[in-house]
A and B are shown apart, each in its own frame.
Chain A
Amino acid sequence: MSVKFENVSFLYLPKTPFEHLALDGIDLEILDGTFTAIIGHTGSGKSTLVQHINALLRPSKGKVLVGDYVIAANEKKVNKLQELRKYAGLVFQFPEYQLFEETVLKDVAFGPKNFKDSEQVALEKAKKALSLVGIEEALFDKSPFELSGGQKRRVAIAGIIALEPQILVLDEPTAGLDPQGAKEMMSLFKTINERGTTVIMITHDMDNVLKYCDRAVVMKDGKIVKIEQPSELFKDEELLKEISLEEPHIISFAKKLIASGMNLELNDIKDFDSFIAQIGKARSVK
C-alpha cells in the first residue's frame, strides 16, 4: 500500500500544435504515512504529477498504483474511480475558488455526500473537518463568500479533509496566505500526517520542506532529478545550482557560519529554533 509510479509519461494535448511531454518516464514510490514534498519550478511537471494520483489525468505511458487502485495507460476506464478519489484527496492550488454552496457547512459536506454518505454522516464529517482546520461554529451557517481569504482557504481544505482520505495531496496550500496563517496551515497538515495520513505537498517554500517533510522529490522538465531527505538535499550545492533552487535562509546562513569556522551540524537544523539552539551549542563548546 503506497503510491507508486511505474515509468509514467504524460503527453499534454497530443497531436495538436500544443503537444508537450509534461511527464517523462517517472518512477517514484511514496510510502504510507510519510510527508513528501514535490519541488521544482513552475512548468516542471509537479501539478501534472499529482493529478495522476487521483486519476484526474491518466498516464499516456506506464502506470500509477495508488493503494489497491491501478491507473494504467490505454485503459479507457479506471476501476472504482470514485473510491479512488475518496482514498486520495486532492486539494488544488487556490482551492477557495471551488466554494459554491449556500453555507460553509453545506459546502464542506458536499464531498462526503457525493461519495454516498447520508446527509447526517456528511454533516458530522463536515463539522469534524471544520473544527480541525480551526473554523468556529459561529461561521458554519454563513455563506462561504462572506469569509476572509484565509478562512475561505481553510473551508476549502476542510472540504477535502472531510472525505477522510488515506492520502492527502496538496498543491501549494500556503500560497498567498499571510505568514501566521501559513504556519497554522502547515501545523495542521503535520497533525493530519501524524494521525497516519500520507501527505504529498507541492510547495515553493523551502522552509516548510525543511521543517515538515521526510523527503523531497525534485522535478525538472517533466523528470525527477532527485529524491532525497531535505537536509541532505540542501547540502547538494551542485543540484541547488542546477535547478536554481533557493535554500532556506537558515541553511544558507548556517553554511556561511560553517565556512567561517563554526562547528554546526546541518542535519540537525530543521527550523529557526533548532538553528538558534545549534548556534548556542557551538558557541558554548568554544
Chain B
Amino acid sequence: MKAIEIENLSFSYTKDQEVLKQLNLEIELGSHVCIIGHNGSGKSTLAKLIIGLLEAKSGSIKVMENEVNEKNIHTIREKVGIVFQNPDNQFIGSTVRDDIAFGLENRRIPQEKMDDVIDEFSKKVGMFDFLDQEPSNLSGGQKQRVALAGVLAMNPDILILDEATAMLDPKGRKEILTLVSKMKNDNPNLTIISITHDIEEAYLASRVVVLSDGKIMFDGIPNEVFSHYEELLNIDLDIPFLVRLKRELKNKGIDLDDAFNEEEAVRRLCQ
C-alpha cells in the first residue's frame, strides 16, 4: 500500500492558469518527503488537494487506497493531519487545552478520555505547562507546537507540514523541526510530507520533490536532486550549504565530491 498515489492531477483556480499540470507522484508509507518549489509553484495547492480542501479538475488522488472525494472525505481526514503556515489562523480553541480538544470533539472521542489525550500530547510537544494559556500569550513557535499536538492527538498515518515553520523565527523553526524528527523516531510508520522553503531541512529528508510551474522537475534523494545546481538556482531556489560549497570549490580546482557531510569536508580540506 502507498501513502499517497497521484495520477495525472490537474488543477486551476482560474480558467487560463493551471497551477498543477498532469502531476504524477507516489509517496511510500513511512517515508519522509520534502516538497520544495518557489512561491506559486503549486506546492501548497497540492497539500490542499490531498486533504480534500480543494477539488481536482482532472486526475485522481488516493490516500492509502482511498480515492479523495466527497464520499471518502471523513476517512481521508482521519488518515491525514496537516499543520498550516499561519500560527494564529489555525488556533481554534480559546486555550491550548480547548484547541487540542477541538479535533477530538470532531472525532467524537468520549469526554472522559480527552484529558488523558490532551495531557499526553501537550507533554510530547512541551506545552503541558501552558494548557490553560490563551493564544495571545503564546509565541508563534508555541502556537505551532500546539497545532502539531492537536493534529497528532488524532493519530494520523500521514502528517503534512504546509510551510509550518515559514513564519517562525530561527529558534521556533528549530524547535518544530526537532519535534517532528522526534515524532518520526517514536513512530517510524508515520509518513511525513513537508512542504518547505527551508533548503537545509530538505537536505536532511529521505526524498526531495522539486515542483516548478505545476510539474515535478526533480525527484530523488537530496544529493541527487541538489546536484542540478544551475536549474534550481534558475527557478529561484536556494542550494544547501554543503552542495554549494563543493560546487564553488570545484570551480577553484578543489574537489570534495565524495564528502557526504561537513565533517568529512573539513577533514579533506585540511588534509
Contacts and interface: CB of A to CB of B under 8 A. Distances in A.
Determine direct contact between A and B, CB below 8 Å: yes
Interface of A: 41-43, 148-150, 175-176, 178-181, 204, 244, 246, 249-250, 253, 256-257, 260-262, 272, 276, 279-280, 283
Contacts of B248: 272, 276
Interface stretch (B3-11, B21-29, B168-176, B185-193): B168-176
The 10 closest A-B pairs by CB, nearest first: A260-B270, A180-B236, A179-B238, A249-B241, A276-B248, A256-B266, A280-B252, A42-B169, A204-B169, A262-B270
Interface of B: 38-40, 139-140, 166-167, 169-172, 197, 199, 236-238, 241, 244-245, 248-249, 252, 254, 262-263, 266-267, 269-270
Contact of A41 (B171, B241, B245, B252): B171
Given A276-B252, A280-B254, A179 B237 contact: yes
A41 B254 contact: no
Contacts of A41: 169, 171
Nearest to B168: A42
A176 B173 CA distance: 13
A181 B172 CA distance: 23
Contacts, number: 66
A70 B131 CA distance: 45
A150 B237 contact: no
Contacts of A150: 39
Contacts of A280: 249, 252, 254
A260 B262 CA distance: 12
A260 B236 contact: no
Contacts of B38: 178, 180
A256 B40 CA distance: 38
Given A43-B139, A179-B238, A244 B171 contact: yes
A178 B197 CA distance: 7
A246 B170 contact: yes
A283 B268 CA distance: 11
B139 A42 contact: yes
Contact of B262 (A42, A181, A253): A253
A182 to B, nearest CB: 9
Contact of A253 (B40, B139, B197, B245): B245
B254 A283 contact: yes
A118 B145 CA distance: 50
A206 B183 CA distance: 29
A281 to B, nearest CB: 10
Residue among A178, A250, A253, A261 with the highest chain B CB neighbour number at 10 A: A178
B249 A279 contact: yes
B241 A179 contact: no
A179 B39 CA distance: 10
Contacts of B199: 179
Contact of B167 (A176, A249, A279, A283): A176
Given A176-B167, A181-B236, A253-B262, 19 more contacts: A41-B169, A42-B140, A43-B139, A148-B39, A178-B38, A179-B236, A179-B237, A246-B170, A250-B241, A253-B245, A256-B262, A257-B270, A260-B267, A260-B270, A262-B270, A276-B248, A279-B249, A280-B249, A283-B254
A260 B266 contact: yes
A189 to B, nearest CB: 19
A279 B256 CA distance: 13
A280 B263 CA distance: 18
Contacts of A260: 266-267, 269-270
A262 B236 contact: no
Nearest to A172: B169
B135 to A, nearest CB: 15
Contact of B270 (A179, A181, A249, A261): A261
Contacts of B238: 179
Contacts of B270: 257, 260-262
Contacts of A253: 241, 245, 262, 266
A262 B269 contact: yes
Contacts of A261: 270
B249 A204 contact: no
B269 A279 contact: yes
A163 to B, nearest CB: 28
Contacts of B249: 276, 279-280
B236 A257 contact: no
Nearest to B241: A249
Nearest to A42: B169
A29 B171 CA distance: 28
Contacts of A178: 38-39, 197, 236-237
Nearest to A248: B241
Contacts of B266: 253, 256-257, 260
